[in-house]
């Protein structure tokens, strides 16, 4: 609903901002429902993978997930980043 209100006001949002908005809402809803964040994150990840598979090959989705998994340490720079 917040997203729709922002769109009606003419505020353009980036893909990252849209995702953060909805992810925050899902986490808040999980807390309010007494559900763990892990179970909701797992469900969201499953939905993302399913959506990817609508337009991407299995190998491409696996490659995407592998990249994220191999680069998920917040204390480590991506291989392609400069010092």
pLDDT of residue 80: 60
For 25, the token pair is 């809402």
Domain interval for residue 26: 1-35
Is 82 inside a domain boundary?
no
pLDDT in tens for each of the 83 residues of the chain? 555 555 555 578 999 999 999 999 999 999 999 999 999 999 999 999 999 999 999 999 999 999 999 888 888 876 665 55
Query: Do 37 and 45 meet the contact criterion of CB atoms below 8 Å apart?
Result: no
Q: Are residues 4 and 27 in the same domain?
A: yes
Which residue carries 């908005």 as its tokens? 21
**Residue 29 contacts by C-beta under 8 Å, 6 or more apart in sequence?**
40
Residues 13 and 26 in one domain: yes
Does residue 49 sit within a domain? yes
The answer to whether residue 80 sits within a structural domain is: no
Same domain, 31 and 43: no
User: Could you give the number of structural domains in the chain?
Assistant: 2
Per-residue pLDDT tens digits for 39-54 = 999 999 999 999 999 9
| Closest by Cα among 53, 26, 21 to 39 | 26
């Amino acid at each position: 609903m917040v997203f729709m209100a922002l769109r009606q006001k003419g505020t353009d949002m980036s893909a990252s901002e849209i995702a953060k908005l909805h992810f925050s809402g899902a986490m808040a809803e999980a807390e309010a429902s007494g559900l763990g964040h892990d179970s909701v994150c797992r469900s969201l990840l499953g939905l993302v993978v399913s959506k990817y598979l609508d337009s991407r090959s299995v190998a491409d989705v696996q490659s995407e997930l592998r990249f994220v998994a191999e680069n998920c340490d917040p204390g480590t720079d991506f291989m392609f980043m400069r010092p």
